[in-house]
Protein backbone atom coordinates (compact mmCIF):
# COMPACT_ATOMS: atom_id res chain seq x y z
CA UNK A 1 0.00 0.00 0.00
CA UNK A 2 1.68 3.24 -1.13
CA UNK A 3 2.72 5.67 1.64
CA UNK A 4 0.94 3.66 4.37
CA UNK A 5 2.71 3.27 7.73
CA UNK A 6 4.35 -0.18 7.87
CA UNK A 7 2.95 -1.39 11.21
CA UNK A 8 -0.82 -1.04 10.85
CA UNK A 9 -2.04 -4.33 12.32
CA UNK A 10 -5.11 -5.81 13.95
CA UNK A 11 -3.75 -7.71 16.94
CA UNK A 12 -6.86 -9.49 18.15
CA UNK A 13 -10.49 -9.60 17.11
CA UNK A 14 -13.56 -11.47 18.28
CA UNK A 15 -17.15 -11.03 17.20
CA UNK A 16 -20.72 -12.16 17.72
CA UNK A 17 -23.96 -11.65 15.81
CA UNK A 18 -25.98 -9.00 17.66
CA UNK A 19 -28.95 -8.97 15.25
CA UNK A 20 -30.00 -11.01 12.23
CA UNK A 21 -32.84 -9.85 9.99
CA UNK A 22 -32.78 -8.93 6.31
CA UNK A 23 -29.44 -7.33 7.26
CA UNK A 24 -27.03 -8.40 10.00
CA UNK A 25 -25.43 -6.39 12.78
CA UNK A 26 -22.27 -7.90 14.24
CA UNK A 27 -20.50 -6.77 17.43
CA UNK A 28 -16.70 -6.77 17.26
CA UNK A 29 -14.09 -6.41 20.00
CA UNK A 30 -10.73 -5.40 18.53
CA UNK A 31 -7.22 -4.37 19.61
CA UNK A 32 -4.95 -2.75 17.02
CA UNK A 33 -1.57 -1.06 16.67
CA UNK A 34 -1.19 2.67 17.38
CA UNK A 35 0.60 5.26 15.23
CA UNK A 36 2.72 6.32 18.24
CA UNK A 37 3.68 2.70 18.89
CA UNK A 38 2.31 -0.05 21.05
CA UNK A 39 -1.11 -1.64 21.14
CA UNK A 40 -4.33 0.19 21.94
CA UNK A 41 -7.03 -0.89 24.39
CA UNK A 42 -9.87 -3.11 23.29
CA UNK A 43 -12.55 -1.24 21.38
CA UNK A 44 -16.11 -2.39 20.68
CA UNK A 45 -17.72 -1.66 17.31
CA UNK A 46 -21.05 -2.66 15.76
CA UNK A 47 -20.93 -3.26 12.01
CA UNK A 48 -23.87 -3.40 9.61
CA UNK A 49 -23.40 -6.33 7.23
CA UNK A 50 -25.70 -6.02 4.22
CA UNK A 51 -23.63 -7.83 1.63
CA UNK A 52 -21.81 -6.22 -1.29
CA UNK A 53 -23.29 -4.15 -4.07
CA UNK A 54 -22.65 -3.09 -7.65
CA UNK A 55 -23.97 -0.16 -9.67
CA UNK A 56 -23.92 0.78 -13.33
CA UNK A 57 -24.46 4.10 -15.08
CA UNK A 58 -26.01 3.24 -18.48
CA UNK A 59 -24.59 5.60 -21.11
CA UNK A 60 -25.54 6.07 -24.76
CA UNK A 61 -22.42 7.46 -26.49
CA UNK A 62 -24.23 8.20 -29.75
CA UNK A 63 -26.84 10.45 -28.12
CA UNK A 64 -24.64 11.50 -25.16
CA UNK A 65 -27.39 10.49 -22.72
CA UNK A 66 -27.49 8.57 -19.46
CA UNK A 67 -30.29 6.45 -18.03
CA UNK A 68 -31.29 7.15 -14.42
CA UNK A 69 -33.90 5.54 -12.19
CA UNK A 70 -36.03 6.91 -9.37
CA UNK A 71 -37.59 4.98 -6.49
CA UNK A 72 -38.55 5.34 -2.82
CA UNK A 73 -35.59 5.04 -0.43
CA UNK A 74 -36.39 4.26 3.22
CA UNK A 75 -32.96 5.39 4.46
CA UNK A 76 -33.38 8.85 2.96
CA UNK A 77 -36.88 9.05 4.48
CA UNK A 78 -35.62 8.15 7.96
CA UNK A 79 -32.82 10.73 7.57
CA UNK A 80 -35.45 13.42 6.96
CA UNK A 81 -34.59 13.87 3.29
CA UNK A 82 -36.89 13.66 0.28
CA UNK A 83 -37.08 9.86 -0.17
CA UNK A 84 -37.04 9.84 -3.99
CA UNK A 85 -33.84 10.64 -5.89
CA UNK A 86 -32.25 9.95 -9.28
CA UNK A 87 -29.76 7.10 -9.21
CA UNK A 88 -27.88 4.66 -11.46
CA UNK A 89 -29.03 1.04 -11.61
CA UNK A 90 -27.77 -0.93 -8.59
CA UNK A 91 -28.36 -3.95 -6.38
CA UNK A 92 -26.94 -6.41 -3.87
CA UNK A 93 -24.71 -9.16 -5.31
CA UNK A 94 -26.15 -12.61 -4.68
CA UNK A 95 -24.20 -15.78 -3.85
CA UNK A 96 -22.34 -17.06 -6.93
CA UNK A 97 -22.94 -13.83 -8.84
CA UNK A 98 -20.24 -11.48 -10.13
CA UNK A 99 -20.64 -7.68 -10.00
CA UNK A 100 -20.93 -7.74 -13.79
CA UNK A 101 -23.69 -10.36 -13.63
CA UNK A 102 -25.51 -8.31 -11.03
CA UNK A 103 -25.60 -5.04 -12.99
CA UNK A 104 -26.74 -6.80 -16.16
CA UNK A 105 -29.55 -8.52 -14.23
CA UNK A 106 -30.60 -5.35 -12.42
CA UNK A 107 -30.51 -3.31 -15.64
CA UNK A 108 -33.11 -5.68 -17.07
CA UNK A 109 -35.26 -5.80 -13.92
CA UNK A 110 -35.11 -2.12 -13.01
CA UNK A 111 -34.99 -0.44 -16.39
CA UNK A 112 -35.64 -2.98 -19.19
CA UNK A 113 -32.09 -2.44 -20.48
CA UNK A 114 -29.69 -4.73 -22.32
CA UNK A 115 -26.19 -3.54 -21.47
CA UNK A 116 -23.31 -3.75 -23.90
CA UNK A 117 -19.68 -3.42 -22.82
CA UNK A 118 -19.03 -2.56 -19.19
CA UNK A 119 -16.17 -0.28 -18.16
CA UNK A 120 -15.16 -0.69 -14.49
CA UNK A 121 -15.03 2.61 -12.61
CA UNK A 122 -14.25 2.32 -8.88
CA UNK A 123 -14.92 0.07 -5.92
CA UNK A 124 -15.52 1.81 -2.60
CA UNK A 125 -16.81 1.34 0.94
CA UNK A 126 -20.19 2.99 1.48
CA UNK A 127 -19.46 3.83 5.14
CA UNK A 128 -16.32 2.02 6.38
CA UNK A 129 -16.72 3.23 9.95
CA UNK A 130 -19.88 1.21 10.45
CA UNK A 131 -20.62 -1.02 7.47
CA UNK A 132 -18.76 -3.81 5.66
CA UNK A 133 -20.60 -3.10 2.39
CA UNK A 134 -18.57 -2.35 -0.74
CA UNK A 135 -19.90 -1.11 -4.06
CA UNK A 136 -18.28 -1.83 -7.44
CA UNK A 137 -19.30 0.70 -10.08
CA UNK A 138 -19.41 0.50 -13.88
CA UNK A 139 -20.31 2.53 -16.93
CA UNK A 140 -22.40 0.42 -19.30
CA UNK A 141 -22.96 0.98 -22.99
CA UNK A 142 -26.62 1.18 -23.95
CA UNK A 143 -28.92 2.25 -26.79
CA UNK A 144 -31.25 4.68 -25.00
CA UNK A 145 -33.78 5.09 -27.81
CA UNK A 146 -37.24 4.23 -26.53
CA UNK A 147 -36.03 3.75 -22.95
CA UNK A 148 -38.32 4.92 -20.15
CA UNK A 149 -41.48 4.10 -18.26
CA UNK A 150 -42.09 2.35 -14.95
CA UNK A 151 -40.27 -0.90 -14.17
CA UNK A 152 -39.33 -3.16 -11.25
CA UNK A 153 -40.40 -6.46 -9.74
CA UNK A 154 -43.87 -6.27 -8.19
CA UNK A 155 -43.16 -9.13 -5.77
CA UNK A 156 -40.22 -7.12 -4.38
CA UNK A 157 -42.31 -3.98 -3.95
CA UNK A 158 -40.39 -2.12 -6.64
CA UNK A 159 -41.90 0.94 -8.31
CA UNK A 160 -39.12 2.37 -10.47
CA UNK A 161 -39.37 5.34 -12.81
CA UNK A 162 -36.87 5.22 -15.69
CA UNK A 163 -35.81 8.27 -17.73
CA UNK A 164 -32.97 9.34 -19.98
CA UNK A 165 -31.08 12.60 -19.56
CA UNK A 166 -28.55 14.45 -21.66
CA UNK A 167 -25.27 14.26 -19.77
CA UNK A 168 -25.36 18.02 -19.14
CA UNK A 169 -28.87 17.65 -17.68
CA UNK A 170 -27.52 14.97 -15.34
CA UNK A 171 -24.72 17.36 -14.33
CA UNK A 172 -27.36 19.94 -13.39
CA UNK A 173 -29.30 17.34 -11.35
CA UNK A 174 -26.11 16.59 -9.46
CA UNK A 175 -25.38 20.26 -8.86
CA UNK A 176 -28.92 20.79 -7.55
CA UNK A 177 -28.61 17.94 -5.05
CA UNK A 178 -31.13 15.72 -6.83
CA UNK A 179 -28.54 12.96 -7.13
CA UNK A 180 -27.66 12.15 -3.54
CA UNK A 181 -26.41 8.57 -3.58
CA UNK A 182 -22.70 7.83 -3.52
CA UNK A 183 -23.02 5.55 -6.55
CA UNK A 184 -24.70 8.33 -8.51
CA UNK A 185 -22.08 10.90 -7.62
CA UNK A 186 -19.15 8.56 -8.28
CA UNK A 187 -20.37 7.30 -11.66
CA UNK A 188 -21.54 10.64 -13.02
CA UNK A 189 -18.41 12.50 -11.98
CA UNK A 190 -16.30 9.77 -13.57
CA UNK A 191 -18.24 9.96 -16.82
CA UNK A 192 -18.02 13.76 -16.91
CA UNK A 193 -14.24 13.46 -16.55
CA UNK A 194 -13.91 10.64 -19.09
CA UNK A 195 -16.68 11.37 -21.60
CA UNK A 196 -14.41 11.98 -24.60
CA UNK A 197 -12.39 8.80 -23.96
CA UNK A 198 -15.55 6.71 -23.54
CA UNK A 199 -17.18 8.10 -26.70
CA UNK A 200 -14.03 7.43 -28.73
CA UNK A 201 -13.91 3.86 -27.38
CA UNK A 202 -17.56 3.28 -28.19
CA UNK A 203 -17.71 4.91 -31.64
The structural domains of the chain, with segments of one domain joined by +, span 10-49, 53-201
pLDDT number for residue 25: 96
**Strands 134-141, 53-60: parallel, antiparallel or unpaired by DSSP?**
parallel
CB atoms within 10 A of CB 200: 9
**pLDDT tens sequence across 70-101:** 999 999 999 999 999 999 999 999 999 999 99
- Please tell me whether residue 37 adopts helix, strand or coil conformation: coil
Q: Whole-prediction pTM value?
A: 0.91
Calculate the alpha carbon distances from 203 to 35, 62, 127, 199 in Å. Answer: 50, 8, 37, 6
pLDDT number for residue 156: 76
**pLDDT tens sequence across 8-67:** 999 989 999 999 998 999 999 999 999 999 999 999 999 999 999 999 999 999 999 999
- Element spanning 115, H or E: none
- Please tell me whether residue 145 adopts helix, strand or coil conformation: coil
Instruction: Give, in degrees to the nearest 5, the angle at Cα 129 between 123 and 120.
Output: 5
Question: Which CATH architecture describes the domain 53-201?
Answer: Alpha-Beta Complex (3.90)
Q: Specify whether 156 is catalytic.
A: yes
Single out the catalytic residue among 156, 158, 168, 178: 156
Res. 2 pLDDT band, cuts 50 70 90: low
Amino acid sequence: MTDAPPDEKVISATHRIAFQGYFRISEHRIRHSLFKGGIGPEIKREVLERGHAAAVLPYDPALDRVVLIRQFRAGAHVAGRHPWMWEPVAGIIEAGETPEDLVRREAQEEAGLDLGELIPIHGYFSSPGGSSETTQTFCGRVDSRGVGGVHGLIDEGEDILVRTFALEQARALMANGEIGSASGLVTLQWLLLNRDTVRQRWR
